[in-house]
Amino acid sequence: MNQRTHGVRFVLVAVAAALPAGVASAGDQAKGRDDTKIYREIDAAVRKVPGDFWGTVLCAKKGEIVFARGYGYADYDKKPNGADTLYEIASCTKQFTATAVLRLEQQKKLKTTDTLDKHMKGVPADKKKITIDHLLHHISGISGKVGVPYAYTGTRDAYLEKMLAEPLASEPGTKYEYCNVGYAMLAAIVEIASGREFEEYCRKELFAPAGLVDTGFIGDERLVNSARITVRKCDDCQPGWTAAKWWYGWGYRGMGGVVTTAPDLLRWDRALRGDKILNAAQKAKLYEPALETYACGWMVGTSGGGKKVTHGGGVRGYGCVISRWLDADVVVIVLSNGKVNPHTVEDAVARALF
C-alpha cells in the first residue's frame, strides 16, 4: 500500500489516563471516555468513511489513549471487534525486522554497512555489493517482483539460494524499489548474526523489553487459541483461517506475519521513544531515509504536527496503518479485517485529531 502524510495542523486535545504497562485490554478504558468531545469527533470521522469500516482504531497523545474502539465483527458473525482484538499486520511487520537488525548492530553483532557475503554463503558476484543498509531501505537492486508463494515450505538456506540466483533489476544503491524479499533476507541475517531463530530473537530482544503482552507470530499457539483472534476472510480463504492460523515460512518471514493488538502497538511506540530497545544513534538511523522517503521499516514525512513516520500493510483478510508523529507525540493505529482502505480511515482520524 502507498504511504501518505497529512498536511494538517496539530491542536491540543483532551486526554484520559495512560495505558498501564501490564494491561491486556483497553476496552473498558475506551468506554469510559466515550463522552469526551474528541472521542465523539473521531468516532464520527470513522463512521463517515464510505464502506462500513471493520476493525480497531486507537489514537494516543504522549502515550495517553484518547480513543480506542472496535467496529464490525471479528468472526464475521457474532463476536464484535474490540479495542484489544488480534489482527495480522502484514507489512507493518517490517518495522520489527528493521529494529531487530539495528539492535544487533547496537550489540555489535553486525554492521549495516556489511555486505551480504559477510553473513551468507554462496553470494553471486553481482550481489556482493549489496549491504544490509541497502536491504533496509529497499535500494538493494533486487526486483520487487521476485519472490516465492507465502506457502513456500523450503528452508532458510534454500530460500536464500533461490532468491540470490535471481537477476538484479538495478545496480545496488542506485534505485528505490519496494522489495519484500529484502526483508526476508534481513530476517535470515538476524538469525545468522544472533545464532537464534528470528522469532525467538524478536520475542526476547523486542517484544519482552517493550512490555508487549499480546504480540507474536502466525502459528503461535496462544494466539491461535485466543478468544480475541479475528477470522481471515477473503475470496479464496479456507475455513478456519485466522490472523494466527495461516501460511508462515520463508516466503513470508520478516516481511509479514506479526500478530498483535492496537494497545500493544502503543506500547511499542513508547518503547521506541525510550531507550529500552534502541539507543539514540540507532533510533536516528531507524528514521533516516535513503534515496526516497523510506527509512528502516518506516516511511518518513512531515505535516503540521512535525515529523511523521508511517507504514501500511495489506494481505489476505487484513489491512493496517500505523502512523506516529514524532514531534507532536501522537499515534494513530488502524487495524482492519474488512474491505475499507485503512489509509482512508487513518486520514479521516488524523483530520479529527489535528
Instruction: Give me the DSSP letters along 145-181.
Output: T----TT----HHHHHHHHHTSPPSS-TTS-----HH
- pLDDT recorded at residue 306: 84
3-state class of 336 per DSSP? strand
Residue 24 CB contacts under 8 Å (≥ 6 apart), including other chains: 84, 213, 214, 263
223: how many CB neighbours lie within 10 A of its CB? 22
The helix (run of H) or strand (run of E) holding residue 69 is strand 64-71
Using an 8 Å Cβ cutoff, are 40 and 332 in contact?
A: no
- pLDDT recorded at residue 304: 67
Q: What stretches of the chain show up as alpha helix (H) in DSSP?
A: 27-32, 37-48, 94-106, 132-136, 156-164, 180-194, 198-202, 208-210, 221-224, 262-273, 280-286, 342-353
Q: How far is CA 119 from CA 122, 130, 167, 180, in A?
A: 10, 12, 20, 19
What's the grid cell of residue 219? Answer: 502459528
The helix (run of H) or strand (run of E) holding residue 260 is strand 258-260
Q: How far is CA 67 from CA 29, 34, 162, 179, 325, in A?
A: 9, 8, 46, 34, 16
As a whole number of angstroms, the distance between CA 159 and CA 181 comes to 10
For every one of its 354 residues, what pLDDT tens digit does the chain have, with 9 covering 90 and above? 333 333 322 222 333 333 433 333 444 444 436 778 999 999 999 999 999 999 999 999 999 999 999 999 999 999 999 999 999 999 999 999 999 999 999 999 999 999 999 999 999 999 999 999 999 999 999 999 999 999 999 999 999 999 999 999 999 999 999 999 999 999 999 999 999 999 999 999 999 999 999 999 999 999 999 999 999 999 888 999 999 999 999 999 999 999 999 999 999 999 999 999 999 999 999 999 999 999 999 999 988 678 999 999 999 999 999 999 999 999 999 999 999 999 999 999 999 998
Tens-digit pLDDT profile for residues 277-319: 999 999 999 999 999 999 999 999 988 678 999 999 999 999 9
Question: According to the 3-state scheme, what is the secondary structure of 85-139?
Answer: CEEECHHHHHHHHHHHHHHHHHCCCCCCCCEHHHCCCCCCHHHCCCEHHHHHCCC
